Structure 1
Amino acid sequence: MKHRWLAQSDDSKLTLVFGGWALGSAPFRGLTGGGSILLVDDYTRLDDPLPDLAGFDRVEMLAFSFGVASAAHWLASTGFRPDRLVAVSGTLHPACADRGIAPDIVRATADQLSSASFVKFCRRAGLSADIPELDIEQARKELLAVIERGSAPDPGFDRVWISERDRIIPTNAQRAAWAATPDVVKGVAAPHVPFEPGQNWAEWMS
């Protein structure tokens, strides 16, 4: 894992973000508020230490896309429990034909990855910001690691947002993945990257 601060505040609240594959901070650039914001991504390995979180009175966690399963694996291995846990546009089954992305599609994405295919991926995801820089070999290794790691145990999400125009993790697959917990699910009329400039982090943590 890699981590970096997107914002550091004097208050005692932390928003811990497990981002998506290869998109970095781009999906979140237009969001405001949230106190200190720590972004985690690159799920080739999940045992890299994060900064000490004990100094924060409240830690809210948002997991996006492949960050959902990765966050769940990380929570299971560390025993950490945030004060609020939210999933956006993702499932606990990242490489799954019925409840995620079909494994052959994930593998084909890795095998055929190029600068041009990544641009197409970003556009299909609905990313309106500038395309992030891509380390092709590292991004390929990360996808293969996600396949190998497989499904994650359910840590008990307080809120699950399903994007209703998702062309990356099919909307119907997300609905199937969260069918057992309908009370926490909300739909959002948006593509895979549903975040809009000017929105507040608190809107997504609700």
Structure 2
Amino acid sequence: MNLILFFNGWGMDDSILKDINIPRGYILKVVNFPYNIDINKLGIYSDIIYIGWSFGCYYLTKFICENNLISNNIIAINGNSQTIGKYGIPKKMFDLTLNTLTPETLVKFYENMGAPNFTPSRDFESIKSELQYFGDNFIPLKNIFKYIYIGENDRIIPTTKQKKFCEVENIFSTILPCEHYPFNDKNILINIIKRLNHEL
């Protein structure tokens, strides 16, 4: 059996992928904050596809680097290893979001990322604490990604900055017809596997 290990974005839960079609021969494991994974349990899988989305790209980078893992199957969707700063969210914008975060502005954030109907199962304070933790502990990390999918209208991690990151790091990329939230395409995981297998 093969595994898709999916590192979720900030403030999300498993429901973000509830309607996604899973590629045949794979199982999907969604990893949410605080991104605790027992690496010893991964040895049972024949193949592992590592996918990060949004802030999850940063935590996937940490996981790969801290465990000295080597793989050609490391994919980013609307994110990278430098989530805040030159190739991500401007530091002033991140701080403003954190300092003014309320249940109402959180709803606005979901609208801005292209998922206006998303309602997390988590409480607001846990979501805010997660963002605070990210800001307090963030340091830019080296690139690990072999392929990056970029939403053509991403207003969270600006599309132009993601493109520049790919240019600087010489990363293959594909532009998706979406905003920050890419999962209106229910076959996105199937298409990722097809591309890895050179079927697209």
Q: Normalising by the residue count of structure 2, what TM-score does the alignment of the two structures yield?
A: 0.85
Q: Are positions 1:36 and 2:24 aligned together?
A: no
Q: Which moved more, 1:128-137 or 1:165-174?
A: 128-137
Q: Are positions 1:21 and 2:7 aligned together?
A: no
Residues 165-184 of structure 1 aligned to structure 2 (within 5 Å): 165-182=153-170, 184=172
**How far is 1:139 from its partner?**
2.1
Structure 1 residues 110 and 185, CA gap change in structure 2 (3 angstroms):
same
The whole-number CA distance in structure 1 between the counterparts of 2:116 and 2:191 is 20
The whole-number CA distance in structure 1 between the counterparts of 2:188 and 2:140 is 30
Residues 27, 193 of structure 1: 8 Å contact kept: no
The whole-number CA distance in structure 2 between the counterparts of 1:197 and 1:93 is 26
**How far is 1:180 from its partner?**
2.3
In the alignment, residue 184 of structure 1 is paired with which amino acid? F
The whole-number CA distance in structure 1 between the counterparts of 2:132 and 2:106 is 16
Q: Could you say what secondary structure the match of 1:37 adopts?
A: strand
Structure 1 residues 88 and 200, CA gap change in structure 2 (3 angstroms):
closer
Same amino acid, percent of matched pairs: 20
The whole-number CA distance in structure 2 between the counterparts of 1:134 and 1:105 is 24
Q: Normalising by the residue count of structure 1, what TM-score does the alignment of the two structures yield?
A: 0.83
Residues 80-99 of structure 1 aligned to structure 2 (within 5 Å): 80-82=69-71, 84-96=73-85, 98-99=86-87
In structure 2, the residue matched to 1:118 is: 106
Residues 15, 60 of structure 1: 8 Å contact kept: yes
Pick from 178, 183, 192 the counterpart of residue 190 of structure 1. Answer: 178
Pick from 35, 49, 68 the counterpart of residue 37 of structure 2. Answer: 49
Structure 1 residues 58 and 83, CA gap change in structure 2 (3 angstroms):
farther
Structure 1 residues 14 and 100, CA gap change in structure 2 (3 angstroms):
same
The whole-number CA distance in structure 2 between the counterparts of 1:77 and 1:200 is 28
**How far is 1:27 from its partner?**
3.3
Which structure dedicates a bigger proportion of its chain to helix? 2
The whole-number CA distance in structure 2 between the counterparts of 1:107 and 1:133 is 25
Q: Cα RMSD between the aligned structures? A: 2.0
Residues 107, 116 of structure 2: 8 Å contact kept: no
Q: Could you say what secondary structure the match of 1:54 adopts?
A: helix
Q: Deviations over 1:134-162 (max 9, x none)?
A: 4333222322332222212212x221111
**How far is 1:82 from its partner?**
4.3
The whole-number CA distance in structure 2 between the counterparts of 1:83 and 1:27 is 26
- How many residues were matched structurally? 190
Gaps of 5+ in 1: 1-11
Residues 143, 169 of structure 2: 8 Å contact kept: no
Gaps of 5+ in 2: 196-200
Q: Which moved more, 1:53-62 or 1:170-179?
A: 170-179
Residues 68, 88 of structure 1: 8 Å contact kept: yes
**How far is 1:125 from its partner?**
0.6
The whole-number CA distance in structure 1 between the counterparts of 2:32 and 2:98 is 17
In structure 2, the residue matched to 1:8 is: none
